[in-house]
Amino acid sequence: MTTTCPECETPITIEAPEGLRLSELLECADCRCELEVIALEPLALAVAPDPEEDWGE
Amino acid sequence: MTPTGAAGAGIALLASRIRGEEKRIMAAFERRGVPASQVDPRRLRFALDAGGASRQPWSVVLNREISASRARHAARTLESTATLVLNSAAAIELCCDKWLTSLALRRDGVPTPRTALALTPEAALSELDGFGYPAVIKPLTASWGRRVSLVREADAARAVLEHCAALPSPQSHLIYLQEYIDKPGRDIRVVVIGDRPVAAAYRIAQDWRCNVALGAQSRPCPLTPDLTKLATAAARAAGTDFAGVDIIEDRDGSMLVLEVNHNVEFTGIQGAHDRIDIAGELVEHVLARAAAAG
């Protein structure tokens, strides 16, 4: 399955789309942008929001 | 009280960011044939019913939300409706605040580096006169080692504290001070599930901070009786069901607890242990707690 990075439009190939989950984080190999899976069918990615606050990890 | 934005029943995994850890946890539920809903807290809202009646779609919630505010408020709200939430709201609140954690560790006699709290940056500078250098200045709540500063003399401390004073949040003006421990280029992360440490790893770093997020490498660490006892005591003091306990070794070999993390990231430590299934251990604990709660 192939889609594009919403930040830099580089094609992104998902090797195992059956294992994807909503809200899963991916990284664009080209621009290194952190992406979030916002829909599975059809697959849609968005730039992941930054963590809004520290949580102590 | 009825939450909106939820689907499914039974067990829920509460998380807005699905990292490797959350994927492993969901897979562990699936391998056991246990249905678990993935719930995004960014879509959750709660309404108080006029008659006070409450209805919950889940009996157990595994709280992996990374936003401390969302994690805490979701836990408090769900607990008010007799939902079992792991970690509990109390544990999250304690672990999110380094000073509250230090108070709990001290109460239970768990060894830590020498620690102080100053309620203003100015007071922190005064405290450092007696505290001595080098010292570590930390925000009360922080992730991945961010804004943790090693100061070797008063001029550096003054500069760091002036930056703290300029930050807009009043909480940023509360200054947590800790003795700098001359450690052997590593610290130890222990994952404790229930009352039992399940895995430990050295985090080896070039930086004086040993966070994996800052590039530290995880290597297997034996769970010695002393390490087991110390990590168990720290997790018990914090009241966690699952925790990452960070431990530092002094040059004389004594071990001190730095902090207890309620939302433990375990990808690094899992990579150092191929015979331990941390997500599986966590899921087994959740199922045992659920069974005990009836």
DSSP-assigned states of every residue in B70-98: HHHHHHHHHHTTT-EEES-HHHHHHHT-H
Residues B283 and B34: their CA atoms lie apart, in Å, by 10
Q: Are B121 and B175 in contact (CB under 8 A)?
A: yes
Grouping H, G, I as helix, E, B as strand and the rest as coil, residue B213 is: helix
Q: Which pLDDT band holds residue B54 (cuts at 50, 70, 90)?
A: low
More reliable by pLDDT, B52 or B28 = B28
Q: How far is CA A57 from CA B117, B129, B133, B235, in A?
A: 20, 30, 26, 14
DSSP H or E run through B293: helix B278-293
Q: Give yes or no for a cis peptide into B225 (omega within 30° of 0).
A: no
Cβ-defined contact of B19 to A48 (cutoff 8 Å): no
Q: Are A33 and B35 in contact (CB under 8 A)?
A: no
Residue A52 has pLDDT above 70, yes or no: no
Residues B73 and B93: their CA atoms lie apart, in Å, by 10
- Does residue B290 come out as left (phi exceeding 0), alpha (psi in the -120 to 50 range) or beta? alpha
Angle between helices B225-238 and B98-107 (to 10 degrees): 120
Residue B7 has pLDDT above 50, yes or no: no
Residue A55 has pLDDT above 60, yes or no: no
| Closest chain A residue to B243, measured at CA | A57
The pLDDT of residue B192 is 98
Cβ-defined contact of B15 to A22 (cutoff 8 Å): no
Residues B212 and B269: their CA atoms lie apart, in Å, by 10
Residues B78 and B80: their CA atoms lie apart, in Å, by 5
Average pLDDT, chain B: 90
The pLDDT of residue B6 is 46
Q: DSSP character for B155?
A: H
**Per-residue pLDDT tens digits for B160-196:** 999 999 999 888 899 999 999 988 889 999 999 999 9
Q: Are B257 and B209 in contact (CB under 8 A)?
A: no
Residues B265 and B143: their CA atoms lie apart, in Å, by 11
Nearest to B68 among A23, A37, A56 (CB): A56
**Per-residue pLDDT tens digits for B201-227:** 998 888 777 777 677 888 999 999 999
Grouping H, G, I as helix, E, B as strand and the rest as coil, residue B99 is: helix
Question: Which has the minimum average pLDDT: B13-27, B87-101, B144-158, B249-263?
Answer: B144-158
Distance from CA of A9 to the nearest CA of B (A): 22
How far is C-alpha A11 from the chain's CA centre? 12
Grouping H, G, I as helix, E, B as strand and the rest as coil, residue B39 is: strand
Q: Which pLDDT band holds residue B231 (cuts at 50, 70, 90)?
A: very high
**Per-residue pLDDT tens digits for A1-45:** 889 999 999 999 888 888 899 999 999 999 999 999 999 988 999
- Does residue B138 come out as left (phi exceeding 0), alpha (psi in the -120 to 50 range) or beta? beta
**Phi then psi dihedrals of residue B49, to 5 deg:** -75, 145
Q: Are B22 and B263 in contact (CB under 8 A)?
A: no
The pLDDT of residue B149 is 93
Residue B53 has pLDDT above 50, yes or no: no
- Selected for mutation to probe chain A from B24, B25, B67 (highest A CB count within 10 Å) is B67
Residues B216 and B158: their CA atoms lie apart, in Å, by 29
The pLDDT of residue B268 is 83
Q: Which pLDDT band holds residue B141 (cuts at 50, 70, 90)?
A: confident
Cβ-defined contact of A37 to B18 (cutoff 8 Å): yes
Cβ-defined contact of B263 to A57 (cutoff 8 Å): yes
Q: Which pLDDT band holds residue B8 (cuts at 50, 70, 90)?
A: very low
Nearest to B144 among A23, A48, A57 (CB): A57
**Phi then psi dihedrals of residue B258, to 5 deg:** -90, -50
Q: Are B31 and B275 in contact (CB under 8 A)?
A: no
The pLDDT of residue A20 is 92
Residues B188 and B269: their CA atoms lie apart, in Å, by 10
